[in-house]
Amino acid sequence: MSNKINITGQPLLLTLATSLVLTVLGLMFRLPSAGELPALSVETPLGELLAAFQRAHRGWSVVAVFMTAISSAYLVTRSSVRYELYGVRTFIAMVMFSLCSCCLFGCEEWLRSWAAMLALLLACRNFEAGFKRSYAFGATFRGAFFLGLVPLLYAPAATVMLTLPAVIFLFRRPVREVAVAIVGICLPVLMTSYIWWGMGYDFGYVVERMVAAATTESGYTLFGGAQLLDLLAMGAVLFVVLMSLGVYLIELGALKFKSRRIHVFYVLLAMLILCSSLAEGSDCCTWLLMSLPLSVSMPLLFVRAEGRFSLVVYLALVGLTVMSLIV
């Protein structure tokens, strides 16, 4: 029987349908209603614009978040297949991303948070595309640019900018690309500062607001208002993540060199995102960003585990998550 069970062999349409259901349920039950939105907290200038748009145009904001969530799940899965991150062709990363990003945490400033997620995802995709023997100035520049854009949307995530040296080392980028990467990561804040300077603010206004947004108490607590099923769903995700890391260490030799380096990059990214939670201004966006590296790592367990065990863990993970939403 176990030979016939293959969770990772689900066809694309089935994983896409599961991802859509999880995304819709997550947006239905995790997004605060219009009456529950708090007063505007300390934000970066770009974050403030998106937060104001969210309050003025809730319907369009929900549509934008839904499209971003589905597109992001697809892009994560496409990258995992293209770069053979698991040694086999599987689309299960799409389900893991939708589950982690949409279903576990409620987020008040969800438009700004998903914009930061999209910027981080585009940075990672460009860095992966630049992982080759020839020069990749364009991919390196774009990756660094999107990476520099993340803290302009969510200031505590400035820690993720430290992944740039790791990218240069892990992905074996030549010295010439280092200068391109430095220009790319600095350009977003310089451009934004110039725009706000043209609007009459001091040139350092944008950086000052970023510092204020990162250091001002947000009042967010990870387990605030969490019910038993919420904690069980989070625990299931943590279990799968830890087991997947164990699988990675055990099966290290079974993965290609490029795949191993990309997995190490995502582990480092997860650690730096976790560090951003220590900032006073951190909120749910930290855990939304964390769903990116987690969804890349979690499929390792399902790929390498015995069929029946993999099925039980998968059904328990999805089942607990759905129950935490609707019960």
pLDDT tens, N- to C-terminus, the chain (327 residues): 445 567 888 899 999 999 999 999 999 998 876 544 454 567 899 999 998 999 899 999 999 999 999 999 999 999 999 999 998 899 999 999 999 999 988 777 889 999 999 999 999 999 999 998 888 999 999 999 999 999 999 999 999 999 999 999 999 899 999 999 999 999 999 999 999 999 999 999 999 999 999 999 888 877 777 789 989 999 999 999 999 999 888 877 778 889 999 999 999 999 999 999 999 999 889 999 999 999 999 999 999 887 889 999 999 999 999 999 998
- Is residue 119 within 8 Å of 157, Cβ to Cβ? no
To 10 degrees, what angle do helices 12-30 and 93-102 make? 0
Question: Which residues constitute the domain of residue 245?
Answer: 2-326
Give start and end residues of each alpha helix (H) in 199-227: 205-215
How far apart (Å, rounded) are the C-alpha atoms in residues 78 and 16?
12
pTM: 0.94
How far is residue 46's CA from residue 154's CA, in Å, rounded to a whole number?
9
* Beta carbons within 8 Å of 209's beta carbon, 6+ residues apart: 42, 43, 44, 45, 155
Task: Give me the number of domains the chain comprises.
Answer: 1
